[in-house]
Structures are given as structure tokens and as C-alpha cells.
Amino acid sequence: MLNFIKNKTNLSILIFYFIFSFSSLLFILLAEYNNNKTPTLFLKQFVFYLIGFGIIYLLQKIPITYIEKFSIAFYLFALVLLVGIFLVPPTLAPIVNGARSWYNFRLFTLQPSEFSKIATVAMVSMLIKEKSFKENTDTIKLLKIALIISIPFVLDLKENDLGNNGLFFIFLFLGLVFLVCNKGKTLFRIYSVVIAGLAIIILAALYFPRLLSLVGLKSYQLNRILSWLNPEAYKLDYSYQITQVLNEVKLGGLTGTFVKNKNYIDEQFNDFI
């Protein structure tokens, strides 16, 4: 354990790990204290962080060659979990907030998309390390990466989970474009297409919403885009949560406050913490 901590790479990871752990635990504890609740979420998260530290310690003891060997199996296992969401009965994978993306095993819940994130990164890492991959053209490189990323991305879309998980795969691909491309022209073309696509979606949402519905965008997804562009116009429904949180942040200021929330917030114990 001491040698593990003394390693400079491990030490830098641990410093960030404990900074984020301490800050998140503090915010969760204050949120529960502020609402006169028993600190169950704090204790639960504390246990998860201890388990996470144990996993980090065990993984660094496994030779990287072993991890590479199991990357394909782990990736396929993650895909099986994602597909299984659509095959199991609703009691085992219920719809929550419009998305069917969790397994409910009574004693604990499991979100397969979280496994798919790690598995996809491991799979892509194994790919780009290969000598044969480095000898490919930029186009072939991106096609191979896109194939690996697109499968879990499409399955996440089918789960109606385009939020954090869908965006993760999009930004993963864009980051890898910068990492693996050798030609500046390829980078410019890819990023130009992305920027143009975003501009088209925003303009279409504002002026031609029916056009987006024709290409498969659902009404609630369109309203999310519009509420992001103009939160005040949707503060009673689609942007209600975020406008309430922003108002509470204004009251707290930089230093915060121990006073009970003056704005009613539906979901007080989520990513807003």
C-alpha cells in the first residue's frame, strides 16, 4: 500500500480522487442537513468511495497486458447489459423519468451505460495502441473508432438516455479525433461539420421545429433544447428545476448559506449538488 501511494502517478490520481470525494461528501451532507434528513445518502456515497478506492488499488496491481486481453470481453459484456434492458420485464428494468436505463435488483440498482463508458474507453485504448492502427489513414482510424463508440451510443439513444451518457460518447469521439488524426485538414473538417450541425439544430429548433420532428427528434427533446436556449420561457415545466436551482445559487452567493432553501427544488439530491 505504501509503495502504491509513493508512486507519483498513483499519488496524483489519489489527490484528485480525495479532493472530489471530500467535496462531494461535504455537499451531500450539507444538502441533507439543510432538509433535516438522516444522512443516508452521505453514508451510502462514503461506502461507494471506499469501494472505489479498493478497486483502484486492486486494478493497479493487475498487469496492463491482462487488462488489454479482457478489454474485448468487457466491451461485449457491457453491450449485453445494454441490450438486456430491452429484453427483461419492466419490473426488473422500470421506466424512470422517461428513460429505461436501470436494472432494479431490489437490494441495489445497476446502470449498464456506466459499464459501457469504461468498456468503450478500454476497447478504444487497446485499438489505438496497435501498430497497425497507427499505420492507417485518418479516415480509417476514425471509422474504426466510430464503430466501437457508435454501438453503445445507439443503445443509449434507444433507452432515451441522451443526457450525460449520450454526450459522453459524442465528446469521447471528438477528443479522439484530436488525438489520433495526423492531418490538420481532417481535424478542421470534422470540427467544422460538428459546429455546423449544432448551428443547424439550434436554428431548426427556433424556426423550423417540425423539420426536426420529421428526422426523429421527439417533442420532449425539442423542448429541452428550447428550454436550454431560453430557460425563463419554460420555467414552469421543462426548465423549472434548473431555474429554481439558479435562483437558489443566487441567494447563496459564493459563500453559501445554512438557511433552508427558499426556492422549492424537486430533485435536491442529484447532479446539482
**Segment 210-265, tens digit of pLDDT:** 887 777 777 777 888 888 888 888 888 878 878 877 887 777 777 766 666 555 66
For the chain, what is the largest distance between any 2 Cα atoms, rounded to a whole number of angstroms? 61
d(CA 156, CA 112): 9
d(CA 152, CA 81): 10
Per-position b or e across 24-41, b if 16+ CB within 10 A of its CB: ebeebbebbeeeeeebeb
Q: Give me 107's grid cell.
A: 437490494
Q: What is the mean pLDDT of the chain?
A: 82
Please report which confidence band the pLDDT of residue 124 belongs to, taking 50, 70 and 90 as the band edges: very high
d(CA 100, CA 267): 19
Q: Give me 13's grid cell.
A: 490520481
**Segment 60-88, tens digit of pLDDT:** 788 878 888 888 999 999 999 999 988 88
Q: Could you count the other beta carbons within 10 Å of the beta carbon of residue 194?
A: 14
**Residue 147 burial by CB count (10 A; 0-12/13-18/19+): exposed, middle or buried?**
exposed
